[in-house]
């Protein structure tokens, strides 16, 4: 904490003004939520206002339900609009059904539409497969797309029969079990989510002039622990969302943007070298795709040429071959090569 404060002082002395981006980076270096609050307070005491968005970032790094509740109350007091993203962070701190249901109530009162991810948490906090199954049935009746929940249900399964049952259910709704989906929804522990969030904030919000502070942190003892976390093959939500934002949820192959209504759009992020084959969870290994083109990639029917920005279908006569690839981020060629040699169907 002392180092972070020294850094802020140094930055100000050298004529730079702290801003939201710096705040995000600084809080990514913290280890506890108290430190997050300290930094926010310290910056404010120096006369810097961080705006409404700071609440989002604070909520992203809060571990306990009580702390999250305090932030939400503060937002209400200051009449800051609480959006779905805030609620998603809030709900992921909930530890029991009662807390989740209170949050859902609160959303209803404030006219915020509940999304499947909110109910996903309700499923997570169940202590048994049977209870989780009951919740899933309840959610299904409300007409929400339940496939995410089947993956969570799967992680509560204790015996082979239960695992089979869930995989059969997935088939029933037309989805084959996908290990990547399983990883994608396998977050349970709030502490893990917060650690991963810190990690990716650090990667994405590190401006070059923070170098010295970054070097300092890299050497500290906790880095080893963090390294272990990175090694766990899990999707990194923050990076994924960042990439989807770059493409505004449009498919890099066809440009289609699937509307879920209410100005919400759906896209998927594809790992060119799959996570299950030790592909890294980094932007250079990712593409934003619509579900159709995601599937064609997964099944090795298409590939891309990043040099001339073209999409290639293994069937030369397919219309896809006339499409050009939208490319706004750096894709590493080695992952495309991996796809071409190992996944793409040979014709």
Residue (19 or 259) nearer to Zn ion, CB: 259
Kindly tell me which residue out of 293, 296, 323, 335 binds Zn ion, with binding defined by CB under 5 A.
293
Residue nearest to Zn ion (CB): 251
Kindly tell me which residue out of 118, 196, 251, 283 binds Zn ion, with binding defined by CB under 5 A.
251
Q: Nearest distance from residue 254's CB to Zn ion, in Å?
A: 3
Residue (8 or 290) nearer to Zn ion, CB: 290
Residue (69 or 293) nearer to Zn ion, CB: 293
Binding window for Zn ion (CB under 5 A); candidates: 111-119, 205-213, 282-290, 325-333: 282-290
Binding window for Zn ion (CB under 5 A); candidates: 56-64, 114-122, 273-281, 292-300: 292-300
Q: Nearest distance from residue 294's CB to Zn ion, in Å?
A: 8
Query: Would you count residue 244 as binding Zn ion (CB under 5 A)?
Result: no
Query: Would you count residue 254 as binding Zn ion (CB under 5 A)?
Result: yes
Look up residue 27 and give its two tokens.
Answer: 């809080």
Residue (136 or 290) nearer to Zn ion, CB: 290
Binding window for Zn ion (CB under 5 A); candidates: 4-12, 92-100, 250-258, 335-343: 250-258
Residue 251: partners with Cβ closer than 8 Å, 6 or more residues away: 257, 267, 288, 289, 290, 293
| Per-residue mark of binding to Zn ion, 197-236 (x: CB under 5 A) | ----------------------------------------
Residue (123 or 251) nearer to Zn ion, CB: 251
Query: Would you count residue 290 as binding Zn ion (CB under 5 A)?
Result: yes
Residues of this chain that interact with Zn ion (CB under 5 A) are 251, 253-254, 290, 293
């Amino acid at each position: 904490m002392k180092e972070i404060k020294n850094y802020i002082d140094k930055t100000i002395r050298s004529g730079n003004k702290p801003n939201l981006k710096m705040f995000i980076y600084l809080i990514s270096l913290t280890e506890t939520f108290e430190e997050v609050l300290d930094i926010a307070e310290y910056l404010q005491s120096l006369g810097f206002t961080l705006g409404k968005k700071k609440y989002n970032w604070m909520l992203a790094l809060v571990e306990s339900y009580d702390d999250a509740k305090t932030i939400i109350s503060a937002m209400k007091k200051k009449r800051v609009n609480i959006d779905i993203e805030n609620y998603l962070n809030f709900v992921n701190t909930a530890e029991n059904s009662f807390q989740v249901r209170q949050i859902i109530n609160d959303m209803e009162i404030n006219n915020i539409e509940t999304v499947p991810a909110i109910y996903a948490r309700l499923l997570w906090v169940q202590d048994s497969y049977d209870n989780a199954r009951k919740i899933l049935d309840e959610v299904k009746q409300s007409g929400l797309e339940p496939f995410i929940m089947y993956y969570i249900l799967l992680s509560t399964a204790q015996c082979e029969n239960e695992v089979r049952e869930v995989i059969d259910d997935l088939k029933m709704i037309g989805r084959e079990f996908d290990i990547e989906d399983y990883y994608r929804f396998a977050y349970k522990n709030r502490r893990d989510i917060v650690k991963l969030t810190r990690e990716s904030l650090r990667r994405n919000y590190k401006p070059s002039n923070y170098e010295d502070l970054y070097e300092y942190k890299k050497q500290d003892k906790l880095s080893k622990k963090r390294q272990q976390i990175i090694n766990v093959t899990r999707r990194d939500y923050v990076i994924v969302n960042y990439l989807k934002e770059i493409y505004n949820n449009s498919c890099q192959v066809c440009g289609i943007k699937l509307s879920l209504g209410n100005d919400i759009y759906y896209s998927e992020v594809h790992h060119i070298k799959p996570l299950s084959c030790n592909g890294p969870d980094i932007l250079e290994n990712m593409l934003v795709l619509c579900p159709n083109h995601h599937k064609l990639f997964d099944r090795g029917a298409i590939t891309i040429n990043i040099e001339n920005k073209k999409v290639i279908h293994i069937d030369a006569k397919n219309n896809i071959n006339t499409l050009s690839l939208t490319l706004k981020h750096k894709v590493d060629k080695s992952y495309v090569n991996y796809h071409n040699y190992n996944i793409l169907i040979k014709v």
